[in-house]
Amino acid sequence: MNLYDRIPNNVNLSEDKRLQRALEKWLPNYLDWWREMGPEGFQEKDVYLRTAISVEPDGWANFDYVKMPDYRWGIFLKPAEPGATVGFGDNYGHPAYQEVPGEFRNSLRRIIVTQGDTEPASVEQQRLLGQTCPSLYDMRNLFQVNVEEGRHLWAMVYLLHGYFGRDGRDEADALLERRSGNPDKPRILEAFNQPCDDWLNFFAFTMFTDRDGKYQLSALAESGFEPLARTCQFMLTEEAHHMFVGDTGLSRVVKRTAQLMKQGDVRELGGIPLDIIQKYINFWFSYSLDLFGGEISSNSADFFAAGLKGRYKEQELYTEHSATNEVLTLQSVEGGELKPREVPLRNALNEVLRTEYVKDCEKGLARWNKALADEGLTERLFLPNTRFHRHVGEYAGHSFDVDGNLISSEEFERRKAEWLPTIEDREYVRSLMHPVTEIGKIANWIAPPATGIKGKPFEFEYVRL
Ligand SMILES: [Fe+2]
Ligand SMILES: [Fe+2]
């Protein structure tokens, strides 16, 4: 088998002997990992998937039936812009780094490993969901997300192999060894160790947690380390579909729930009550907020100063790229009270990125609330305050209600069943998850999508079972 024919790429793989040798060792381990931890029970089925075979507009979304282990995991970077420069920080205007700058080597490897770790983690979290899919259309979307997360792992492994030598290779191996939710060798970030074992979890995960990915990748797409920037720029084209799956998935659940609310008791009618949907939103939104890191962070200042990680749309939205003379006022807990605290902007860049993310999430909420309004209902869903249920940063170790009021840990314990999914809620949702795999059919707890994929109708054989 000629590996390089099977790996579509625009990084001159056929001429790079060192990279070839590294990938030759890594690829079989990757395939073993995919067979062990990828979607269980569907590896030999034909799935109507899009595959990137080039970065040109007509090449990155080729649709055809493919068995997932035969998916052509490619290595793609957005084409280089001649004369690229570092776009922010202390080295603003200097030529972009083509190699890893020695003094930032460890930080940069950490950034890439942390991003890379999330990609296989989500595949692991979602590996059983195919068995309870609400329709073939949804099953196909799940598998599309899964193979693309696999490709994103490739993208990060390419950077590790290509730019970090021996320790990069070790890190690439370790990415295949950690396991989501395994206490002995967990994935790096907590949201990626949480179970994602029903489809409401899946939609909330792709809405909120994949969206964190969008913002992290956007900040890295600004990087002065050019191979990283160009890799992330291309990954973002694929990521958009993942968030579409989550956003429209939740919208369809909300719509169906609204229809059932008008008919009677949602539980008796086999739907998901609105208050359970709200709790899943609270859970995944708060865990996803943690992924941005502490509100006050010297790492964020260092990464920005070094030109490694910018702000969201740094070039498009800002004219001043040093971020030195500004401050951000944050609420911080002092002496049992919330008090405003001024932080130099560079140290508050995690919070700046998080704020952009929250604005984006609010648009999703507006769409779901429109689905409720369209059905004539007055009930509304909301995002909890960003201080609620946090495990990282300023608010970790304190308790807040969903409106962001500081409360005692006893009160939180007493009321947490109002705000977060209980075991009973999760069991109820799981009890609805029966597979629906007939062409054109859909489970009772979710509305069908407005349109199919790539111009196909909803009634299309997206997966050949
Ligand atoms: Fe990804
Ligand atoms: Fe994703």
pLDDT values of the chain reduced to their tens digit, one per residue, 465 residues: 456 667 788 888 888 888 888 888 899 999 999 999 999 999 999 999 998 877 777 777 889 999 999 888 888 888 888 999 999 999 999 999 999 989 889 989 999 999 999 999 999 999 999 999 999 999 999 999 999 999 999 999 999 999 999 999 999 999 999 999 999 999 999 989 998 999 999 999 999 999 999 999 999 999 999 999 999 998 998 899 999 999 999 999 999 999 999 999 999 999 999 999 999 999 999 999 999 999 999 999 999 999 999 999 999 999 999 999 899 999 999 999 999 999 999 999 999 999 999 999 999 999 999 999 999 999 999 999 999 999 999 999 999 999 999 999 999 999 999 999 999 999 999 999 999 999 999 999 999 999 999 999 999 999 999
Torsion sign across C-alpha atoms 336, 338, 344, 348: positive
CA distance 459 to 301: 51
Q: Which ligand is nearest to the CA of 210?
A: 2
Q: 242 C-alpha to center of ligand 2: Å?
A: 5
Q: 304 C-alpha to center of ligand 2: Å?
A: 24
pLDDT for the residue numbered 441: 97
Q: Assign 406 to helix, strand or coil.
A: strand
Got the DSSP string for 58-123?
Answer: TTS-EEEEEEGGG----B--PPPPTT-B--SSTTTTSBPBSS--GGGHHHHHHHHHHHHHHHHHHH
Q: Report DSSP state, residue 447.
A: P
Number of Cα atoms under 13 Å in the Cβ half of residue 310 = 29
pLDDT for the residue numbered 54: 77
pLDDT for the residue numbered 412: 98
> The whole model's pTM is what?
0.95
Q: 189 C-alpha to center of ligand 1: Å?
A: 14
Query: What is the β-pairing status of strands 399-400 and 337-344?
Result: unpaired
Q: 207 C-alpha to center of ligand 2: Å?
A: 10
Q: Which ligand is nearest to the CA of 217?
A: 1
CA distance 331 to 388: 13
Q: 378 C-alpha to center of ligand 2: Å?
A: 33
CA distance 287 to 285: 6
Q: Report DSSP state, residue 49.
A: E
CA distance 89 to 194: 35
Q: Which ligand is nearest to the CA of 231?
A: 1
Q: 239 C-alpha to center of ligand 1: Å?
A: 6
Q: Which ligand is nearest to the CA of 245?
A: 2
**Residue 205: count of CB within 10 angstroms of its CB:** 28
pLDDT for the residue numbered 2: 57
CB 251 within 8 A of CB 203: no
CA distance 231 to 356: 22
Q: 207 C-alpha to center of ligand 1: Å?
A: 13
CA distance 66 to 438: 20
Q: 113 C-alpha to center of ligand 1: Å?
A: 13
Q: 150 C-alpha to center of ligand 2: Å?
A: 10
Q: 55 C-alpha to center of ligand 1: Å?
A: 17
Q: Which ligand is nearest to the CA of 240?
A: 2
Q: 355 C-alpha to center of ligand 1: Å?
A: 21
Nearest to 375 by CA among 253, 232, 240: 253
- H and E: helices and strands count for the chain: 14, 7
Tokens, residue 254: 């909300």
CB 42 within 8 A of CB 129: no
Look-up of token digits 């040109």: 56
Q: 58 C-alpha to center of ligand 2: Å?
A: 21
Q: Which ligand is nearest to the CA of 149?
A: 1
CA distance 252 to 359: 21
Got the DSSP string for 310-327?
Answer: --TTHHHH-S-----S-E
Q: Which ligand is nearest to the CA of 220?
A: 1
Q: What are the residues whose beta carbons fall under 8 Å from the beta carbon of 24, sequence distance 6 or more?
A: 3
CA distance 162 to 184: 29
